[in-house]
Homo-oligomer: A and B are copies of this chain.
Amino acid sequence: MYCDILVIGAGILGLSSAYHLKSQNPNKRILVIDKLSGPGQGNTAKSAGGFRNLFTSKTNYLLANSTINWFDHLQNDLNYDLKFAYTGYLYLYSKFQYSHLRKSFDKMKSKGIEFRTFEKDELRHLIPDLVTNFEGDKEAELMGLEPVEIGVLGVKCGTINTDAIARCYEAEFLKIGGEVKYNIIANRLITRPEKEFGIPGEPFIWQDVVVAGTNTNYGEINAKRTVVAAGVWSERLLDPIGFDSMIRPKTRVIFVFKDQKLERLLHLKGMNNYGFLPHTHLTNTKLYLIGDLTEKSIWLGCAEDFGRKYGLEDDPKPNEHLYSKNAYHALVKYLPCFKDVRPINMWAGQRAINRFDSIPIVTSAPGMIYVGAATGNGILKCDALGRIVAALYSDENETILYSGYNFKVSDLGIANRNVEKEKF
């Protein structure tokens, strides 16, 4: 099989790339393949689906802010039901933690990023379930927990249904003549010498090499250009051809709760127009809670951090003990309403962590483009990244993001990388 552009991975980054590539190159044959059976069924589906524009890094802000505008456009102008809702991101800090972040918030404010700050008394009033004082609680002290004293609520933040956004890109891509094939496993990239000599054993070590498609369980797919957008699985394709994906995969677990005791927390007033629990970070504990508007449940996520292993897993399994014998100890100190509440569901997914600068990568090598390293932010930057892939394909120096900003394509590359590191 032959195509002009082969996109490996029908996750959010692959589909966004494919859509923007096809809209700018309507006459090219563009094929997306995925080993799973539908759009966004890998780690896209396992994501928490949060979005935010709170970043200190200009690069991150530009990518996220324009993608959020695009989501808004899809739902409110084009009537896609993406469950896109500005429910906010609430960060809860101890005095000590906040003092370290004060500069970052000042920087964000100076850029016009909108957020509200709550003092302890306000928090106590707004979130009656939250313990803001551990006085007399010897155990909390022994555990080294610090009381919440300050809250920061990001406004242009919230949640989106990741399945809906993946399907939306797929639908738009198919509408303009794109092709998608599922259940096709890209086993290894095909490399050829740039100038073929025509004797067995090529490519030789002295030849320059170009990527020319992939071998799959259904045979070879030859492509003029191959876009590797396989998330944490990218390393399985890229390591064999000596191209560094620059990421380490890390598992993130989500537990789902639905319980009478949590009703008041779920239907939290004063934070957004929905009267609903925002994406809430108990930063002291590395835990966060999300109010799921669709199912009226609360999700609990455990953020990856130093001390928790890296390693690719095809289908990571959550362990209930991570909640009941681990996260629970701290959670229940801050939110006693969780006392004896057990998760009704849970799953695990993996993020492609770039610990070098925590900014996504869009770069090329002969015959291929790599997009990834989104560090758990693939969904909330997907549209900007898709546009940058399309611009890189066309050898354009800049691309106009949906926000109207002119983004320099080489800034997300490796050779001339020019990004501001994230400090938040």
Given A205-B286, A206-B287, A246-B355, A306-B142 contact (CB < 8 Å): no
Is A176 in the interface zone, CB < 8 Å from B? no
Contact B243 A284 (CB under 8 A): no
Contact B143 A197 (CB under 8 A): yes
**Residue numbers in B under 8 Å from A325 (CB-CB):** 201
Query: Which of A56-64, A84-92, A164-172, A326-334 makes up part of the contact surface?
Result: A326-334
| CA A204 to CA B353, docked complex, whole Å | 21
Contact A365 B327 (CB under 8 A): no
| CA A246 to CA B250, docked complex, whole Å | 15
| CA A191 to CA B143, docked complex, whole Å | 17
How many copies, total? 2
Is A179 in the interface zone, CB < 8 Å from B? no
| CA A207 to CA B284, docked complex, whole Å | 9
| CA A331 to CA B206, docked complex, whole Å | 9
> Which residues from 60 to 118 on chain A have a C-beta closer than 8 Å to any C-beta of chain B?
none
**Residue numbers in B under 8 Å from A305 (CB-CB):** 205, 209, 242
* Interface residue tally on A, bucketed by range: 35 or more
Is A248 in the interface zone, CB < 8 Å from B? yes
**Residue numbers in B under 8 Å from A415 (CB-CB):** 421
Contact B239 A203 (CB under 8 A): no
Within the complex, what minimum Cβ distance (angstroms) separates A142 from chain B?
6
**Residue numbers in B under 8 Å from A208 (CB-CB):** 307
The 7 closest A-B pairs by CB, nearest first: A209-B307, A206-B330, A206-B285, A144-B195, A244-B355, A239-B310, A242-B308
Residues of A at the B interface (CB closer than 8 Å) are 142-145, 191, 193-195, 197-198, 201, 203-209, 238-244, 246, 248, 250, 284-287, 302, 304-311, 322, 325-327, 329-330, 353, 355-356, 365-366, 414-415, 417, 421
